[in-house]
Structure 1
Amino acid sequence: MLGCVTSTGLRRDELAAFLRTRRARLRPAEVGLPEGLRRRTPGLRRQEVAQLAGMSVDYYIRLEQGRGPHPSRQVLAALARALLLSRDERAYLFRVAGESPPPSAGPSREVSPGLRHLIDAMTETPAYLVDASYQVLAWNRLARHFIGDLSAVPPAERNTIRWTFRQPDDDAHWSDQDVVSFVRTSVADLRAAYGRYPNDPSIRQLVTELLGTSPRFAQLWAEHDVAERRPVVKRVAHPELGPLEFECRVLHVPETDQRLITYVPEPGSPTQATFRALAERIAP
């Protein structure tokens, strides 16, 4: 049974069960407490969680028993810190308590080992990972032939939207409708990130900079567009590799709000042959 929901959206039984399971998984050493003796059950004691969260033991016990009052946002934030909740767990805690989750301070810029292995394993496909503000976080060998070797570039300058709008107005890219459509959806995606991370200084700085330096960006930003990401076919006259045609795929990574950008050629196409030959040439 999932239990009832109060008029304020509080799911008491679900909140109680969630608190109990999160408490049971923690070891005292993980939160800076001595292990001690005579622990009959795994995890922290209720009084230890209450102490870590700065609340009375009686109040916390009532929450775990599904009979406490509607917890405030301050109480929920304290519990999230005390129980070492992940971002997803913190959001869930707020939702079962009938509250909207607090906004994240900024986009995640941590690259998981799994994603890094995936990018490196795509030996015949250029691929790179960006955060919600399109800051490049990781890239593979083939991607260097399109975005450069970013290891020599300061991290603050590794932003694909900034690169795009630094191109002069007479650049050939702006006459390609597929490119313009892709740029438009990128700006819409950036606006969504601007709303999700209102306290992130890097996003505010990027938007402020481009509003002051790029009339084209300012025009798109003023339209307040919101658009779903769609694949775009790109045709590139590469200075080293010659004419290329591939599908640019932007894949959302939900758990980190990052995007994996890949250049996917049609099977059997000249571009696939070019990517394969390049991969063989630069293989370690």
Structure 2
Amino acid sequence: MDRARLAAFLRTRRDSLQPEDVGLPRGRRRRAVGLRREEVAALSDVSADYYSRLEQERGPHPSEQILSSIARGLRLSVEERDHLFQLGGYAVPRQGRRSDRVDPGIMRILDRLADTPAQVVSLLGETLGQTGPAVALVGDDSGHTGLARSLHHRWFTDPGTRMIYPEDDHPMHSRLLASHLHATYARDGVGSRAAMIVDALLTASPEFAALWREHPVLGAYCAPKRIVHPALGLLELHCQTLVDPGRSQALQVYTAAPGTESHEKLRQLSVGGDRQG
């Protein structure tokens, strides 16, 4: 571990971030060039004292998990994260198509959408990040484990997953999700996580097996949706999608046409509505 260079690297990256980059207010009396130490600590889910000691060259040897959290908090690029690991005395994390780490550029955009229903998902429908209004709209999907992390898997195995959509729309969603999974499986091949999900669904879901035999072709990744909210009723929404450069994850932003009833319902979600029931 190179304690001095690690501390210097953390300071330079903290100084390069502005509050607006991470969705924080600037305030009138800010003197720091970039973010404050306590702000980076909060973004990284570590204590302010722990992070400060790292920058002051007197902290403990951080674990790989801690370094990953700090890399996420500082919005480091893949190359910067690798450098951070090397300074910490660890081998560079293996690269793979599946990553639980949100692309830094996508994360900066998500930070600026705090009052908008928006979320980041992998190409297998694994939720990597959500704004508060997105949780209020579709529920908190961050707590699932195993294959159930994938919306594609939950859709065909857990009937409760379908409750946020009108029943008439279920066949359309089934075909769309099967086509997404088919495209990801074709790209990643045998032995991939997509293949694991496909194998499990071919056994667990006759509906999926029937769709799979049709070789579904990929359609729009996030088509217009009708969502049923337990308190607000039906919302008719559009879903704009931004795919990261590596095409491994996507930012989904839910909007409604101005002046419509659905637009007003989205506004209510943005000021504190919860999804209950």
Q: Which residue identity does 2:212 align to in structure 1?
A: W
Contact (CA 8 Å) 1:105, 1:199: kept in 2 or not? no
Contact (CA 8 Å) 1:107, 1:197: kept in 2 or not? no
Asked if 1:279 is matched to 2:233, the reply is: no
Computing the radius of gyration from Cα coordinates, the structure with the larger value is 1
CA spacing shift, 1:157–1:268, aligned 2, 3 Å = same
State how many pairs are aligned: 181
Question: Paired residue for 2:21?
Answer: none
Aligned partner (choices 118, 133, 136) of residue 145 of structure 1: 136
Question: Paired residue for 2:168?
Answer: 176
User: What CA RMSD, in Å, does the superposition of the two structures yield over aligned residues?
Assistant: 3.2
Runs of 4+ displaced beyond 4 Å: 171-175
Any idea what the Cα deviations from partners look like across 1:26-81, whole Å, max 9, x if unmatched? xxxxxxxxxxxxxxxxxxxxxxxxxxxxxxxxxxxxxxxxxxxxxxxxxxxxxxxx
- The share of aligned pairs that are identical, in percent, is 29
Q: TM-score, normalised by structure 2?
A: 0.55
Q: TM-score, normalised by structure 1?
A: 0.54
Contact (CA 8 Å) 2:128, 2:142: kept in 1 or not? no
Q: Which residue identity does 2:157 align to in structure 1?
A: R
Q: How far is 1:138 from its partner?
A: 1.4
Asked if 1:110 is matched to 2:138, the reply is: no
C-alpha distance in 1 between matches for 2:197 and 2:166: 21
Q: Which residue identity does 2:215 align to in structure 1?
A: H
Question: Paired residue for 2:178?
Answer: 187
Aligned partner (choices 209, 214, 237) of residue 228 of structure 2: 237
Partner of 1:122, secondary structure, is coil
Contact (CA 8 Å) 1:128, 1:136: kept in 2 or not? yes
Any idea what the Cα deviations from partners look like across 1:75-123, whole Å, max 9, x if unmatched? xxxxxxxxxxx99xxxxxxxxxxxxxxxx95334431222122123223
Unaligned 5+ segments in structure 2 are: 1-77, 80-94
C-alpha distance in 2 between matches for 1:184 and 1:114: 31
Partner of 2:239, secondary structure, is strand
Question: Paired residue for 1:72?
Answer: none
Question: Paired residue for 2:244?
Answer: 253
Unaligned 5+ segments in structure 1 are: 1-85, 88-103
